[in-house]
A and B are shown apart, each in its own frame.
Chain A
Amino acid sequence: MKVTSLRLAFQTALLAVCFAATGRADAADMSQQAQQGLQGKLEYCKTCHGLSGEGYRGYYPMPRLAGQQPEYLENQLQAFIRRSRTNPVMSNVAHGLTPSMVAALAANLRDLNPNPYGGAPRDSLALGKTIFEQGLPESNVPACSACHGPDAKGKAEIPRLAGQLYWYTVKSLTNWSRERGQGSLKDTSAIMVPTTHNLTQAQISALAAYVSYLK
C-alpha cells in the first residue's frame, strides 16, 4: 500500500473520530434513570448480537460487539445513520440513539469478554495466520497485523477482529465496496478497499476462520 494513500486514509479517519467524539458525555455522571435506559438498550442489542455480545448466526450473521473498540463502534453507528454503510435494520436501530447513549453502550460493550462463537472451518487456519501476519506481497495485500494489531484486538478506529463471527467477516470482506463508504463523503472504510479487492474468496475464508478463533 502507498504511503500517501495511507496518510490520506488516516486523516479521514481522524476526522470521523472527532466528529463522533463531539457528542460524548461522561458515563460516570449518568442519572439513575439514564442507567436504566442504558441497561434496557444493551439488552436490546444483545437480542440480536448474542446474549453475551459474542455475535449470533441468524439468517444473516450478527457481528460480535464484545470487546470492540469504542471509537470503531461509534463510527459504524454514525455510518449506519448516514447510510454510508447500508443495512436497513441497523439504520433503524442506530437512528434513535443519542450521542451519550452511544458512548455509554460502546463503553459497556468494550468490557465484555465472552468466548468466541466458533463454528468456522478449520482446514485453512495456517494460511489465514500467514496472511494475517505477513500479508501477500505478490498480490499487494498488507499484513493485517500492521493495523489490527498482532493479537487482532484493534485500536481506536481500527476494529478488533479477534473472535469475530466467521460468516460475518466473510460477508464483510466480500461485499466491502457495496456496503461501506457509500455516498460522496469519504470515511475510514476507504482504508480497507484495496485490501478487500486483492483477496481471493479462499484467502478471505482462511483469514475469517483464523481470526474467529482468537480470544
Chain B
Amino acid sequence: MNLNTSKMAILVIAFLAGGPLQAEESLAIRNCTWCHGSSAQGLSTAPRLAGQRDQYIQNQLLSFSEHLRDNPLSQQYMWPATAHLSPQAAHDLSAYFSALPPVPANDGDPELAAAGRAIYDEGIADSDVSACVVCHGPNAEGVRGIPRLGGLSYPYLKRRLEQWGEGFHAAAAPMPQIAGRLSPNQIDALASYLSFIGYESLE
C-alpha cells in the first residue's frame, strides 16, 4: 500500500467507524483521534493511546517533534502531527488520553501466548534476552515513562520490536539493546501474548 492510499484508507475508516463525533471531544482531540480511532483505541497503523502512561505519551510527543523517533510511520504521520503542538497542548492531550480506559486488541496468535508470557516474565538468560517484567510491570501496565504494553495491537508491537533491531528510534534506551536480541519467533510470541492483556482499572 503506498502512502496516499493508506492515508485515504485511514480517512475512510475513521469516518465510518467514528459515527457522530462525541460532543465532548474537542477539536484538538479529534485532530488525533481521526487517526488513533474513536476513544483513542487505535486504528489501522495508529496505536491505541487510551490508558497509555501520561509521562510516556509526553516523552513520545517530544521525540516526534525532535525527530528522534524516526520510524517510517512516525516520520510520515507523527512528525507533521507534532510540528506545531505547543508544550501545553502536549501536556493536556497526554493527560486526557492516559485517563481513557484501554480495550485490548486481542489480535495475536493465541497459540503463541504461553511462550510469550514465559519470555515476558523470565527472559531467556542463556541467549541474553531480558525479562520484560522488571520494567513494564507484572501486568504489562507500565509506570511513569515506561509504557503500558498490555492490549496494544499485535502488528504495532511486532513492528516496534522489529524496527529497533533495524536501527530506528535508537534514542529509546534501553529498548534498542533489548529488542535487538530478540529472534523473529520471540517477537511473534511476545506481541501475541501482550495483545491479549486487558485491565479492569487503570491502576
> Are A and B part of the same complex?
yes
Given A58-B146, A59-B133, A41 contacting B128 (CB threshold 8 A)? yes
- Give the bracket for the number of chain A residues in contact with chain B: 20 to 34
Roughly how many angstroms separate A92 CA and B119 CA in the complex, as a whole number? Answer: 12
- The 29 sampled A-B contact pairs (Cβ below 8 Å) are A40-B128, A43-B128, A44-B130, A46-B174, A46-B177, A47-B130, A47-B174, A47-B178, A48-B135, A51-B173, A56-B135, A56-B174, A58-B135, A58-B143, A58-B146, A59-B133, A59-B135, A59-B136, A59-B138, A59-B146, A60-B135, A62-B134, A88-B121, A89-B123, A89-B133, A92-B122, A92-B125, A93-B123, A96-B125
Contact A51 B177 (CB under 8 A): yes
Q: Is B198 an interface residue (CB 8 A)?
A: no
Q: Is A95 an interface residue (CB 8 A)?
A: yes
A40 → chain B closest CB, angstroms: 6
Chain A residues with Cβ under 8 A from B146's Cβ?
Answer: 58-59
Q: Is B24 an interface residue (CB 8 A)?
A: no
Roughly how many angstroms separate A6 CA and B34 CA in the complex, as a whole number? Answer: 68
Among residues 76 to 108 in chain B, which have CB atoms less than 8 Å away from a CB atom of chain A?
none
Chain A: CB-nearest residue to B143: A59
B126's partner among A56, A57, A58, A96 (CB-CB below 8 A) is: A96
By a beta-carbon cutoff of 8 Å, the part of chain B in contact with chain A is: 121-123, 125-126, 128, 130-131, 133-138, 142-144, 146, 173-174, 177-178, 181
By a beta-carbon cutoff of 8 Å, the part of chain A in contact with chain B is: 40-41, 43-44, 46-48, 51, 56-60, 62, 88-89, 92-93, 95-96
Chain A residues with Cβ under 8 A from B142's Cβ?
Answer: 59
How many contacts A-B (CB < 8 Å)?
Answer: 56
Chain A: CB-nearest residue to B124: A92
Contact B128 A44 (CB under 8 A): yes
B55 → chain A closest CB, angstroms: 12
Chain B residues with Cβ under 8 A from A47's Cβ?
Answer: 130, 174, 177-178
Chain B residues with Cβ under 8 A from A43's Cβ?
Answer: 128, 177
Chain B residues with Cβ under 8 A from A41's Cβ?
Answer: 128
Chain B residues with Cβ under 8 A from A59's Cβ?
Answer: 133-138, 142-143, 146
Chain A: CB-nearest residue to B144: A57
Chain A residues with Cβ under 8 A from B177's Cβ?
Answer: 43, 46-47, 51
Chain B: CB-nearest residue to A95: B125
A42 → chain B closest CB, angstroms: 10
Chain A: CB-nearest residue to B130: A47
Roughly how many angstroms separate A60 CA and B130 CA in the complex, as a whole number? Answer: 14
Roughly how many angstroms separate A164 CA and B135 CA in the complex, as a whole number? Answer: 18
B173 → chain A closest CB, angstroms: 6
Chain B residues with Cβ under 8 A from A62's Cβ?
Answer: 134
